Structure 1
Amino acid sequence: MENPTLELLLNRRTIRAFKPQTLTTEQLNTLMEVARQAATSTFLQQCSVIHVTDAQIRSQIRDITTQSYVGANGDLFIFVIDLYRNQQIRHQKGETDGRLHAMDVFLQAMEDTVLTAQNVTTAAESMGLGCVFLGSIQNDAQKMIELLNLPKMTFPLLGLQVGVPDQQPQIKPRLPLKFRTFENQYDYHYELADLADYDEQIHQYYDLRDTNRRVDTFTHQIAQKLTTSLAKRDQILTVLHQQGLCLE
């Protein structure tokens, strides 16, 4: 089965080098309209998007992420979990916060935010633009909150750099479907040996990649990652509580 949308999604790749130009007004407005139309849990619309154009703020976000391309060329967006707006609506209607501090409401807002970011990414790539998600803004969530002047009941979840690509990276191989899709019930039987072919794919990908010529495998990365504690990331739950989120 083929169509332009499937071709786009099946061939997507992360772009980390952008040409020195920003989005046109038409492109920017279109992407924000796409964000507005993203799916939303129970119509609560608990996501907001901040377009970061201030050079000093972009520089400080770059420092947080420790990634040189962040806030350099292209446009930088931060996708924010936003329960503040609905809190203010409730207060001005004479209501209490209700269940706004509950974990499940936070998860609904997180879902809204992720879906919005993915919508924008797909739309941008359909315009011939490139994108890179920036989970690295979580390296110092409290600093991000201060930089963006975020009120209580909000949380910066994802960054997204969008621009005109200045590179053509290879497509990074993903795990075979048999390891990620199941029917009816989860298949929890895993043997390291079953991943040997995929490890070889990843080894070849890194060996042949135009930049960052490292030799590695998927299983080696998993064995090495998720081990070292990242002090600021370990404080995320505390930051969420300080923001009034996930209290129940």
Structure 2
Amino acid sequence: MIHNFTTDHQVNHRSIRQFKDQSLTAEQLTTLYEAARHTSSSMFLQQFSILHLTDPKKRAAVREISKQSYVGANGDLFIFIADLYRNQQIRHQLGNDDGRLHTTDIFMQAAEDAILALQNALTAIESMGLGGVVLGSIKNDPEKLIQVLDLPKMTFPILGLQVGIADQEPQLKPRLPLDQITFDNNYPRNFNISELKNYDQTVTTYYDLRDANKRIDSFTNQINGPKLNQHESSRDKLLQALHDQGLALN
């Protein structure tokens, strides 16, 4: 592969979950925002917003929802929101109706805007020598999260992002081999689990050797285990929470 400052940072990405007790500077914060603001946007609808949570009570509430002790602890905490409220208000104030804003198509475009903006922000953060972690766990209880953040209808929290000065040096987590995720023209249907034997061993070794939360486990065992087994989860409320917000109704 081609090596340069950007690509080397990207392929060496590590999720940082421990941060020093120091917030971003105004310049760093503006850089994060500008990187997010200039992200590609579907149909130029620009349907995302960012909440920067500095209120200790709100940070604690998000931590309780996420069930992760590091969430909202040190560093800066951001929530990336699919935001159709702003465009709804533009249409209303110009004398129009909601049009297609309640469709799954338009919601998906908003979700994509938010996700892409977060990734751009994280890349910018890492380029400044800082660390970050993407937080899908904020949606463990989507209805409660919407209440905590006091979000209006036509908005939905997609992902959290916690960033700051890293206070740990985790090992690089091994990813699936390229031949398992990249294909030319056609998606192959002849997958055999034996193709992942070497990767399973690599993952097992990674968990055996890493410093924190030590466990010995393979990738295929994780896929075949509790993560995807049938069980009730508060995340099952996601679709109802979306509908309650007036989103993806069709």
| TM superposition score category, shorter chain reference | over 0.9
Structure-1-length-normalised TM-score: 0.98
Structure-2-length-normalised TM-score: 0.98
Tell me the C-alpha RMSD between the 2 structures.
0.8
Residue 226 of structure 1: aligned partner: 228
Residue 75 of structure 1: aligned partner: 76
Distance in 2 (CA, whole Å) between partners of 1:29 and 1:204 is 40
* Partner SS, residue 51 of structure 2: strand
Q: What is the CA-CA distance between 1:228 and the residue it aligns to?
A: 4.2
1:121-200, aligned counterparts within 5 Å? 121-200=122-201
Q: What is the CA-CA distance between 1:190 and the residue it aligns to?
A: 1.4
Q: What is the CA-CA distance between 1:230 and the residue it aligns to?
A: 4.1
Distance in 2 (CA, whole Å) between partners of 1:42 and 1:109 is 10
1:246 partner amino acid: A
Among 242, 246, 249, the residue aligned to 1:247: 249
Distance in 2 (CA, whole Å) between partners of 1:184 and 1:222 is 27
* Partner SS, residue 141 of structure 2: helix
Residue 59 of structure 1: aligned partner: 60
1:234 partner amino acid: D
1:13 partner amino acid: R
Residue 3 of structure 2: aligned partner: 2
List alignment gaps of at least 5 residues for structure 1.
none
Residue 205 of structure 1: aligned partner: 206
Distance in 2 (CA, whole Å) between partners of 1:194 and 1:216 is 17
Q: What is the CA-CA distance between 1:238 and the residue it aligns to?
A: 0.5
Aligned length: 248
List alignment gaps of at least 5 residues for structure 2.
none
* Partner SS, residue 118 of structure 1: helix
Distance in 2 (CA, whole Å) between partners of 1:220 and 1:188 is 21
**Percent identity of the aligned residues?**
57
Q: What is the CA-CA distance between 1:135 and the residue it aligns to?
A: 0.2
Distance in 2 (CA, whole Å) between partners of 1:176 and 1:7 is 18
